[in-house]
Amino acid sequence: MGIDQAIARYEKGERSEAKSQAEALIAASPNNGDALNLLAVIAQDEGRHAEAEKFARAAVSAAPANAIYLNTLGNGLMSQGRSDEAADALLSAHNAAPTQADILFNLANAQRQAGRLEDAMENYRQVAGLRPGHIGAYNNLALMMKALGDPESAATVLIEAVAHAPKAGELRFNLGNAFHAVGRLAAAEGAYRKAIELMPTHAEAYANLGTVLAEFGAKKEAEVAFRKAIALSPNLAPAYVGLADLADDGTMDAVAHRRAVLALKPDLAAIRSSLLMCLHYTPEPTRAELFEEHKAFGALYDQTKHAAFRADHDMDPDKKLRIGVVSGDFRFHAMLFFALPVFEARDKDMFELYCYATNTKTDEYTAEFRKTADQWRDVRALSPSDLTHLVVRDQIDILIDLSGHAPHNRLLTFAAKPAPLQVAWGDYVDTRGLAAIDVLLGDAVHTPAEDDRYYTERVERFAPDYICYRPPIYAPPVMPGPATTKKYVTFGTFNEVTKIGPAAVRQWASVLKAVPTAKFLLNSHLLADGARQGRIVSLFMDAGIAPERLIFHTGGEHRAFLAQYAEVDIILDTTPYSGGLTTCEALLMGVPVLTLPGDRFCGRHAAAHLMNGGFPEGVALSDQDLIDKAQALAVALPARVQIRNRFLASTVCGVTRFSTAFYGALRAEWRAMAKRPPSKR
């Protein structure tokens, strides 16, 4: 019996018989390459990788230029995760058979896995040229384009692919993802619906459809789609996340909604983080209760007993330090004004910066973060475990969490302790709850010493304010407020709508009652939604303030948004979640800000920025003091230019001084860590 019969039996699924025939052929002729190759394929099918490699190498040894044998070897190496070796073998196979589309496709896959991205993309294009209907080539090329930040090109490739394979549901699904990434929501919805038509049990298509519907404002339809996704795949995390996020328009109790979702799926870290975020927007939990909620997160996910960083990590106290920063906000965000200038100000001879970007959305400002980094890592698609391995491989000394429990965080990576020293700083407003994070960078206002008991991290108060602020170069000039031409003062808020709840409105209403001729302006792009405006009007009416005293503006691009501070005389802070960036922006535009500090980090943003930003008189000591200050300002408004000048000269805007303190604190923490015995790190 010859090799053709053995191969025929293999193709019929008669693997055992095919194997016996191939072994008989090799017994008669040990260098029978076809038989050796067949045995390699069979061993590979059965998961016997070492044996498969042995047979494949023997076949290649018998015929070194045989493309089929080289292809088998390359595929076997790929299955073992040895992508560099696999790419080399498959390149040889391709050189031996340059018109074989399947071999070239395998080569592109290996190059993609090995990180040779440009080579992989070019070869996927060539596969599509050799075989225009090759769905895998189109699909993988588009997925790479999207992952590398070019979803428009990904959509173009997938549209071409759909023309060749109109009934390929996976292509439609990925096309929906590409359309969604570039904001073409109607096209994304259509692609997802077609994918579901072709693949009725595709849970991810339902989940992504739900996300698009939610962005359209079709909340009820979105909920149906998310629940269908969960019914099809009970472990599909994005469906639960989407279901939880439906509460964020103010029509539902966001905290109760997330607890209900966790009752369905208690092991979802993303929902637990989202719950912790939501708890800060409501005054109900006490400071102690907030801490217990964060500790519960740590109890579920901390892995500090088995730290991932290498035992032989170089702990030289004075070496050049590799600092890794993990964030989903390397874009237009508060961190553009708070963190980017600090990164740019580092001593590059002493600190090397690695940015691990978890952004799902990028913009023109992402390039600014990327430019200042020594190494840029796009880790959107990496699992917590994969990111952990990458941080260890990069030999990061100090890993900084910039996101906390905000969306797109990677706290599960921090929980694995991939760096010897781990630091919490930036956008989040509380403890992370993880023992794996060593230090939280705070200040005497946000994190007074008496609050140390509410942090799992050790708090380091390294500067007067835990952030600094660099104004944008396009900041418009200071303009007079409306009270200069009108017979009343205009109070207002430019804070995000999620911070506007019953507690804040009650506080504002008390001021409006004390200044009965005043009006109140609310400014946010989210107020373009009439339902949101209606909710806020109802809150004011419940507090005894008539709708005609309210003014709604809907924001605009950032320069225009800053210019709109000319339409308000006095900013009243939100509670229990205070305004951070908006407080700095108000002072930049010369507008006085009044705040009553709360009992937690998130309630003290404005107080810290006012006390250190040249306007400490804006910090009230009680509800009555807030009213008294508002009445006094309504009678005698300070000069706006003076407020701006004091702010720009303050420590809040002292980027150089702040950065010196910031990197000095990191170096001091590193030296202290280096002195500890390994068992204490």
Same-fold call for 205-279 versus 482-651: no
Domain extent listing, the chain: 3-204, 205-279, 304-461, 482-651
**CA distances to 9, 10, 549, 599, 647 from 5, in Å:** 6, 9, 89, 80, 85
Give yes or no for residue 250 having a pLDDT over 50: no
Give yes or no for residue 126 having a pLDDT over 70: yes
Instruction: Please list, residue by residue across 221-235, b when 16 or more beta carbons sit within 10 angstroms of its beta carbon and e when fewer do.
Output: bbbebbebbbebbee
* Mean pLDDT for the stretch of residues 253-279: 85
* Mean pLDDT for the stretch of residues 153-158: 85
**Per-residue confidence band for 248, with pLDDT thresholds at 50, 70 and 90:** low
pLDDT at site 470: 98
Q: Which of 67-76, 144-153, 225-234 has the lowest mean pLDDT?
A: 144-153
Residue with tokens 């929902």: 271
Residue from 478, 509, 479 nearest 493 by CA: 509
63 contacts 46 by C-beta, under 8 angstroms: no
- Phi, psi dihedral angles at 578 (to 5 degrees): -80, 165
* Mean pLDDT for the stretch of residues 651-673: 97
Which residue pairs from 503-507 have beta carbons closer than 8 angstroms and sit at least 24 positions apart in sequence?
A: 503/282, 503/283, 503/575, 503/576, 504/574, 504/575, 505/536, 505/539, 505/540, 505/542, 505/543, 506/543, 507/572, 507/575, 507/596, 507/623, 507/626
Class of domain 3-204 as given by CATH: mainly alpha
244 contacts 261 by C-beta, under 8 angstroms: yes
Query: Is domain 482-651 annotated with CATH 2.60.120.260?
Result: no
Handedness of CA 53, 59, 64, 68 (dihedral sign): negative
pTM, entire model: 0.77
Q: Report DSSP letters for 202-254, one per residue.
A: -HHHHHHHHHHHHHHT-HHHHHHHHHHHHHH-TT-HHHHHHHHHGGGGTTS-H
The encoded tokens of residue 190 equal 């259509």
Amino acid at the residue 93: A
69 contacts 33 by C-beta, under 8 angstroms: yes
- How is residue 651 annotated by DSSP? G
pLDDT at site 305: 67
pLDDT at site 567: 97
The CATH fold of domain 304-461: Rossmann fold (3.40.50)
298-313 pLDDT, tens digit per residue, is: 999 988 667 889 889 9
Question: 3-state SS of the chain: helix, strand, coil percent to 5?
Answer: 60, 10, 35
* Mean pLDDT for the stretch of residues 202-207: 96
436-446 pLDDT, tens digit per residue, is: 999 999 999 99
pLDDT at site 254: 79
Q: How far apart are alpha carbons 572 and 386 in whole angstroms? A: 45
70 vs 145: which has the higher pLDDT: 70
Q: Report DSSP letters for 365-414, one per residue.
A: THHHHHHH-SEEEE-TT--HHHHHHHHHHTT-SEEEES-TTSTT--HHHH
pLDDT at site 149: 67
Query: Is domain 205-279 annotated with CATH 2.70.150.10?
Result: no
262 contacts 275 by C-beta, under 8 angstroms: yes
Which residue stretches of 29-82 are H helix?
A: 33-45, 49-62, 67-79
Give yes or no for residue 249 having a pLDDT over 60: no
> What are the helix and strand counts (H, E) for the chain?
31, 12
Q: How far apart are alpha carbons 436 and 440 in whole angstroms? A: 12
Q: How far apart are alpha carbons 58 and 37 in whole angstroms? A: 8
**Per-residue confidence band for 679, with pLDDT thresholds at 50, 70 and 90:** low
pLDDT at site 291: 97
Residue 521 pairs with which residues in a beta bridge? 492, 551
* Mean pLDDT for the stretch of residues 341-355: 97
Q: How far apart are alpha carbons 278 and 405 in whole angstroms? A: 10
Contacts of 347 (CB under 8 A, 6+ apart): 663
Query: How far out from the chain centre does Cα 555 lie?
Result: 24
Instruction: Please list, residue by residue across 571-600, b when 16 or more beta carbons sit within 10 angstroms of its beta carbon and e when fewer do.
Output: bbbbbbbbbbbbbbbbbbbbbbbbbbbbeb
Contacts of 519 (CB under 8 A, 6+ apart): 488, 489, 490, 491, 549, 550, 551
In this structure, the strands spanning 421-424 and 375-378 are unpaired
pLDDT at site 304: 67
End-to-end CA distance of the chain: 66
* Mean pLDDT for the stretch of residues 376-398: 89
Give yes or no for residue 494 having a pLDDT over 90: yes
* Mean pLDDT for the stretch of residues 470-499: 95
Residue from 401, 582, 560 nearest 474 by CA: 560
143 contacts 174 by C-beta, under 8 angstroms: yes
In the chain, the percentage of residues whose pLDDT exceeds 70 is 98
Contacts of 302 (CB under 8 A, 6+ apart): 415, 434, 435, 436
Instruction: Please list, residue by residue across 253-273, b when 16 or more beta carbons sit within 10 angstroms of its beta carbon and e when fewer do.
Output: ebbebbeebbeebeebbbbbb
Q: Which of 194-203, 243-252, 497-506, 570-579 has the lowest mean pLDDT?
A: 243-252
pLDDT at site 547: 97
* Mean pLDDT for the stretch of residues 347-361: 91
**Per-residue confidence band for 145, with pLDDT thresholds at 50, 70 and 90:** confident
Contacts of 474 (CB under 8 A, 6+ apart): 558, 559
pLDDT at site 319: 97
Amino acid at the residue 559: R
Give yes or no for residue 483 having a pLDDT over 70: yes
Q: How far apart are alpha carbons 276 and 288 in whole angstroms? A: 13
Mean pLDDT of the chain: 91
- Phi, psi dihedral angles at 13 (to 5 degrees): 95, 5
pLDDT at site 247: 66
The encoded tokens of residue 109 equal 């896959």
49 contacts 80 by C-beta, under 8 angstroms: yes
* Mean pLDDT for the stretch of residues 636-658: 97
**CA distances to 472, 474, 588 from 477, in Å:** 12, 9, 9
Give yes or no for residue 651 having a pLDDT over 60: yes
- Phi, psi dihedral angles at 519 (to 5 degrees): -115, 170
